[in-house]
Chains A and B, each alone.
Chain A
């Protein structure tokens, strides 16, 4: 496996409040504050965190829908290596053929005044890359691949349900055969019954077209189902990055532990243990030291209050930013079921998903 995208110390600060007379701002919201990670070719990296943690900003900054304040975004495409952060306007427009985005809300991401065919084919039409029969053919092919019917291409978005709209949005993202796609909570606006369909579609497309995903979500079940690796974000920083099983079963960061404990058990009789208190602090005025220390039940010394922990590799492939990652004993998603002695703890949705995924991995490894 080779690296497709390498993000180095990426920052995005938003000026807030009124500027002074010269247009200079004094106060900044640190939406993304020094994030580094890699995405391998053909993998999907999950990005989870509370709302307001900067997930969406990070996803949009990586494809430069939002300009980064500083940092590098290295895109390794076949034999050339590009720093997306420094591309000029025209080069960026060209680069967008290789990276696309699927938005959260399929009701606002489709232009109501265009037919489905025009929406899907917009890249080709706007750049005069195809017209007439060729355009029809290419739009049809991608639409079929995304589970749309040919007869629907003349319709307008208002004729479709949320799930179908998301299929249209996916087809639009794929028309230029990009390598990399940012999926910004692609199923969270959909009915639960539709979510699985769209997740499966994304997975099938990934296999068929060798796509690489950055999968932003707050539904931990969906992430467990869709992603090989997961990055956990808190207050503009990554606190933990590891393969999905590690994050869910053996988290090394207290925040990840708290997130995992928030997955509701399938049995409504089981108590939901509250393991995290308080609100996420404001990214305009983040706490000193470890950003998580005001809410962390293990933090009690000056080190947590004064020293910002760096993301480091605690085990091979397992990155954590916590001063005490090695000494803390934390509980994973399984904990509650096991502790309460429920028969067949695997009934939990997350665990089911994980088991399915594990079967798949075993099958693919044995091939």
Chain B
């Protein structure tokens, strides 16, 4: 982990690594891990999507393209059928034709008609974060609708729905991880700090929770939710269900870290220096295991996302009009949908990418948490 280079401090040349803070050392180590950096970049894009979903999605999640049902993804072109280059990307128009065998209406690409894409398109109006009124979208078309990931059975734009679902699924992960963090830190902290009977009780509770197969437990809890609850209420309830089971790992980690760090030489010497209990905990102990906890949280992120996806996929999680990745995949359940509208599975690609990215970033963070290890 040699970081070459010198800087001047008080008129003297100093090696940069010698005066680097722990955070700097972690960053230097993290950025050497290319996979983790790429993963962080992908997650950055996901974050931007979640924040600006209304702007990036050309349409709202419920808007239907009634003339383009179960339509395949429209490809964006720069060259037309004659090989002529267009500076402005365009899509072809389509016409609905009857299938001679099934007599069903199917959209057929009409290369004679070019519809140019417009960037920063003024289209459907929305309220960003429920606050700012706008009708600006990243892209759109003046004529008809553009569905770059195709449409579902009733003509809703899959690309737009995935953008909104990304926001919901990531927020489920983030808020779930936040709950896990609070419960895990509290329970692990109590167990590790007070010990004795509190420790026994909490440890037995953790073991009990871990011994229950998770999927049936979620199902039971989720099935117990009243069906007449609003989508938002269900959303919060699902989060609480997922984190009430998911905190045990972190709780264990916090407890064992507290127990081992409490006897570490540097904590003992902080005690000898006459530090108060609060200063020992917040100034000496917490910073030294915070990096490990952040790693744990990063790794537990995809578990919560996957758990929510699984629940929603089974129809017991989130429900329309809230769209999450699981809700979108729910519609791809039957063989008919899979055979006729395979583009519904694009959502799965997003789930896979997100989970992999979190795992790779967690790996990188784990290495970086101990920046001086060779």
Contact = CB atoms under 8 A, between A and B. Distances in A.
A126 B274 contact: yes
Contacts of B9: 154
B223 interface: no
Nearest to B23: A113
Interface stretch (A102-110, A207-215, A247-255, A355-363): A102-110
Contacts of A63: 272
Contacts of B279: 126
Interface stretch (A93-101, A217-225, A259-267): A93-101
A109 B19 contact: no
A93 B264 CA distance: 18
A339 interface: no
Contacts, number: 81
A12 interface: no
B21 A126 contact: no
Interface stretch (A34-42, A155-163, A303-311, A313-321): A155-163
24 contacts: A23-B197, A96-B271, A96-B272, A97-B274, A100-B272, A101-B268, A103-B265, A103-B268, A105-B265, A111-B266, A111-B270, A111-B284, A112-B22, A126-B275, A126-B279, A127-B274, A151-B10, A151-B14, A156-B18, A156-B21, A158-B25, A158-B372, A159-B19, A169-B269
Q: Which of B18, B273, B276 gathers most chain A CB within 10 Å?
A: B273
Contacts of B41: none
The 9 lowest CB-CB distance pairs between A and B, nearest first, are A159-B18, A109-B265, A123-B273, A155-B18, A126-B275, A122-B273, A103-B265, A111-B266, A108-B265
B274 A94 contact: yes
A169 B273 CA distance: 12
B269 A109 contact: yes
A87 interface: no
A65 interface: yes
A293 interface: no
A113 B274 contact: no
Interface residues of B, number: 31
B287 interface: yes
Q: Which of B18, B19, B265, B270 gathers most chain A CB within 10 Å?
A: B265
B78 interface: no
Contact of B270 (A23, A94, A122, A158): A122
Contacts of A173: 272
A112 B288 contact: yes
Interface on chain A toward B: helix, strand, loop, or mixed SS? loop
Contacts of B10: 151
Interface string B17-35: 1111110010000000000
Nearest to B370: A112
B15 interface: yes
Interface in A150-186: 151, 154-156, 158-159, 169, 172-173
Contacts of A103: 265, 268-269
Contacts of B265: 103-105, 108-109
A138 B279 CA distance: 22
Interface of B: 9-10, 12, 14-15, 17-22, 25, 196-197, 264-266, 268-276, 279, 284, 287-288, 372
A155 B15 CA distance: 9
B275 A110 contact: no
Contacts of B269: 101, 103, 109, 169, 172
Contacts of B271: 65, 96
Nearest to A110: B266
Contacts of B20: 156
Q: Which of B197, B274, B275 gathers most chain A CB within 10 Å?
A: B274
Q: Which of B15, B18, B22 gathers most chain A CB within 10 Å?
A: B18
A334 B285 CA distance: 49
Contacts of A159: 15, 17-19
A113 B272 contact: no
A113 B287 contact: yes
A155 B18 CA distance: 5
A7 to B, nearest CB: 19
A341 B263 CA distance: 50
A225 B58 CA distance: 82
Given A103-B268, A109-B268, A156-B21, 7 more contacts: A65-B271, A111-B266, A112-B288, A155-B19, A156-B19, A158-B18, A172-B273
Contacts of A23: 196-197
B274 A65 contact: no
A123 B276 CA distance: 11
A105 B10 CA distance: 32
Nearest to A118: B283
Nearest to A160: B18
Given A101-B272, A123-B274, A108 B15 contact: no
A122 B275 contact: yes
Nearest to B9: A154
B275 A113 contact: no
Given A100-B272, A123-B273, A151-B12, A108 B264 contact: yes
B111 to A, nearest CB: 64
A207 to B, nearest CB: 23
B276 A126 contact: yes
Nearest to B280: A126
Given A23-B196, A23-B197, A156-B20, A65 B14 contact: no
B125 to A, nearest CB: 50
A154 B19 contact: yes
Contacts of B272: 63, 65, 96, 100-101, 173
Contact of B266 (A65, A108, A126, A156): A108
Contacts of B18: 155-156, 158-159
A355 to B, nearest CB: 35
A213 B18 CA distance: 32
A159 B287 CA distance: 20
B21 A154 contact: no
A155 B9 CA distance: 11
Contacts of B273: 96, 122-123, 126, 172
B126 to A, nearest CB: 45
B275 to A, nearest CB: 4
B286 to A, nearest CB: 10
